[in-house]
Amino acid sequence: MAMLEVNNITISYQNRPTVTDFSMTLEKGQICSLVGESGSGKTTVIRAIFGLLAGGGKVTEGDIIFEGESLLEYSKEKWRKLRGSDISMIFQDSGAMMNPTRRVGDAYTEYIRTHEKNIAKGDARTKAIDMLERMRLPSGDNVMRSYPFQLSGGMRQRVGIAMGMTYQPKLLLADEPTSALDVTTQAQIVRQMMELRENYGTAIIVVTHNLGVAAYMSDHIIVMRNGKIEDQGDRDYMLYHSENEYTHKLLDAVPSIGGTRYV
């Protein structure tokens, strides 16, 4: 049995089906990308898996099975234990998710102490610094003493990833984790996510509108359109063999170094 099985789900906001008949499976250590235009339902899918649909969204049909158990039937209590330890999520701008009036260190230490009730404050702090440095943040101690606004976007994003990875989750969900970042920072973050897979066997679902990023990091790519799966396959299929017209349209629109020039 696969680690994650999403079986023919329909997701509705206010009883309006937005994503229909969506299925995917993911094994340990696999990376899958969801690509497609904005509004196609990518965020909706990964939020449904994380049990955190906004705006009254609900999974109205189908099932989501994680390690043999339906996530849809999890109690609040069970979700609280799972989130952050077995399944983590990274958002587009982790900085915006942080409380601007609290130092990164206070927020991070508290996060650790909600997952490990009995850990001493000092130990939680050491653990946090260790994770930050593993994400190649230059000085973990410095970062801990900073407020979110004092860090660059790339640094904040690495703090978000460090927090998400603290308990080496089996499944990492990432919603446009590099879209707000410069190309150099994007490359660093993509490399770090791939190292997670190598070092811990983490499985990753990443939403991205950057087809280059999707092609580089994924074992499997799913193209979404109007709430449905339009096309899917591995990189080789997507880039060179798909005959799907929509996939072609997306690929043609990607500006490429040495590609089409309009002048």
Partner 1 sequence: MFDEKDLILEAKHVTRRFPAAKGKVLTANNDVNLKFYKGKTLGLVGESGCGKSTFMRFLVSLDKPSEGEILYKGEDITKLKGEKLRQHRQNIQMVFQDPAQSFNPKMKIRDVICEPLLNFKRIKPSEKDKVARELLEMVELPGELADRYMHNMSGGQRQRVAIARALALEPEMIVMDEATSALDVSVQKTIIELITKLQREKNITIGFICHDLGLIQSFAHQVAVMYLGNIVEVMPGEDIGENCKHPYSKALLASVFDIKMDFTKKIESIDSEIPSPLDVPPGCPFCDRCDQCMEICKQERPILKEIGPGHEVACHLYAGKEA
Ligand X SMILES: Nc1ncnc2c1ncn2[C@@H]1O[C@H](COP(=O)(O)OP(=O)(O)O)[C@@H](O)[C@H]1O
- Binding stretches for ligand X (CB under 6 A): 13, 18, 36, 38-44, 54-55
Beta partners for 222?
34, 232
| CA–CA dist 193, 36 (Å, integer) | 21
Residue 23 structure tokens: 């299925």
Of 41 and 95, nearer to Mg ion (C-beta) is 41
* Residue 102 partner contact from ligand X, Mg ion, partner 1, none using kind-dependent CB cut-offs of 5 to 8 Å: none
- Of residues 47 through 66, those in contact with partner 1 by CB under 8 A are none
| 224 contributes a contact to partner 1 by CB under 8 A | no
What is the Cα–Cα distance from 122 to 236, expressed in whole angstroms?
49
Q: Report the C-alpha gap between 244 and 230 in whole angstroms.
A: 8
184 binds partner 1, rule: CB under 8 A: yes
Instruction: Report the nearest approach of partner 1 to the CB of residue 91 (Å).
Output: 17
Q: What is the DSSP letter of 138?
A: S
**For residues 181 and 5, is the Cβ–Cβ distance under 8 A?**
no
Q: To the nearest whole angstrom, how small is the minimum distance from the Cβ of residue 58 to partner 1?
A: 27
- In the bound state with partner 1, the residue whose beta carbon lies nearer, of 31 and 64, is 31
Structure tokens, 257:
């170094």
CB of 161 to partner 1, least distance (A): 15
Produce one character per residue of 228-239: b if its CB has 16 or more CB atoms within 10 Å, e if not: ebbbbbebeebe
Sheet holding 16-26, edge to edge: 16-26, 4-13, 57-66, 69-70
Which of Mg ion, partner 1, ligand X, none has residue 95 at its interface (CB below 5 to 8 Å by kind)?
none
User: Minimum distance between the CB of residue 181 and ligand X, rounded to whole angstroms?
Assistant: 18
Residues at the interface with partner 1 (CB under 8 A): 37-38, 136, 138, 152-155, 182-188, 190-191, 209-213, 215-216, 235, 239, 249-263
